[in-house]
Amino acid sequence: MKNQDFVTVEVVFGEIKASILKAHLESEGIPVLLKYESLGRVYPLYIDGLGEIKIQVPAQCAEEAKQILQQPPEDTDAESDQTR
């Protein structure tokens, strides 16, 4: 798939958050590209677009990805406590 087939579904600041969202979408079977603003990789700046990371998915998966990202994360610790 070519880069032009990918669309941005979320913009975040910080590699950790971007990596978590990427892993979450990929666990749902959606391919993900992270598009970094270049200066933010050198200097950890998060000002006026510097340091932003775009979460991109194939255009045909965009709606599903947006729905997944809007859902609150599951609290797996609370679920495991209830089963004990």
- Whichever domain contains 54, its CATH number is 3.30.70
Residue 12 counted as domain residue? yes
Residue 10 counted as domain residue? yes
Note the pLDDT tens digit of each residue in 33-66: 999 876 666 666 666 667 789 999 999 999 999 9
Residue 60 counted as domain residue? yes
Mean pLDDT of 16-32: 94
Residue 51 counted as domain residue? yes
Mean pLDDT of 18-36: 94
Residue 82 counted as domain residue? no
Radius of gyration of the chain (CA): 15
How many domains, in total, are found in the chain? Answer: 1
Mean pLDDT of 59-79: 82
Cα torsion for 17, 31, 59, 2, to the nearest 10°? 110
Domain that holds residue 61: 3-73
Q: What is the Cα–Cα distance from 45 to 52, expressed in whole angstroms?
A: 9
